[in-house]
Amino acid sequence: MFASDALAGRTVLITGGGSGLGLAMARRFSSLGARIFLTGRSAERLADAASSLGEPDRVGFHPGDVRDRDAVEAVIEAATTRFGRVDTAINNAAGNFLAPSEDLSANAFDSVVRTVLYGTFNVTQALGRRMIESGEGGCFVNIVATYAWTGSAFVLPSACAKAGVLALTRSLAVEWATYGIRVNAIAPGPFPTEGAWSRLMPDADHEQAALSRVPAGRFGEPEELANLAAFIAGDASPWITGECITIDGGRWLTSGGEFNSLIRLPRADLKRQLEALKPRK
């Protein structure tokens, strides 16, 4: 359904673009003619991701931590220097893990909220100011979660942060429409990706239980989310702003928070399972 040049002339900045859904979106945007600029905390991962896209003249990257406003400014400056202007941003950088809320440290809560909520704000405001100054408008697509509006047990920092990003999306869609800037969100359901999936699925039984609650009968494919992001960011949807589009095979309609089912496990057993999921130094 997409013309091969649907995003030709566009420059897309993708946070958390070195792997997973971020890289899947980068591949799709690149295939539609866009210039791609990736950022994330690992320079090595970004270099590998950029190389995999196979278009060195249309791909750039610069490492940076979205929690750090100075680092964000450096990323945007690098992207602007490379391609002249960034007109589209995908706020995809995130952090998440399963934990009983009473056991969360202040640092654990802060780390997720600063990455997801503060990071999205940092990128959006810094780039938005440039869009406003140029008078040429632009587009933001923010990746949230289906529990942004329901909340979810055992992922409290992420639920709080994603709810904040959804509010940011709708607030700026109204405030910045006068500048020709569109701000939308995507709420993905379960998409198996390297890294994040292992931190959110305690065991095979939970994965099977999660699958059983998807009316479509399967988990999402990264290319499906990438296609949706390309449509929202592209010129075929110029009157869509302030919207949050769910892509989850009907999953959220079957219940509330994504991880609420874990309350069925004896709490001591659950805590042992979650402890085993923690990365080992």
* CA distance linking residue 142 with residue 186, whole number of Å: 6
- Which residues are CB-neighbours of 30 under 8 A, at least 6 positions away? 36, 53, 55, 58, 59
Collapsing DSSP states into helix, strand and coil, what is residue 271? Answer: helix
Report the DSSP pairing between strands 181-188 and 138-143. parallel
In one-letter notation, the amino acid at residue 78 is: A
Distances (CA, A) of 70 to 11, 24, 29, 66, 162: 21, 27, 27, 9, 23
- How would you label 95-104 residue by residue, b for 16+ Cβ within 10 Å and e otherwise? bbbbbeeeee
Tell me which residues are annotated as active site.
Answer: 147
3-state secondary structure of 143: strand
**Alpha-carbon span 236 to 115, nearest angstrom:** 31
Q: What are phi and psi of 11, to 5 degrees?
A: -120, 120
Alpha-carbon gap, residue 158 to 166, rounded angstroms: 12
User: What radius of gyration, in Å, describes the C-alpha atoms of the chain?
Assistant: 18
The CA distance from 150 to 238, in Å, is 29
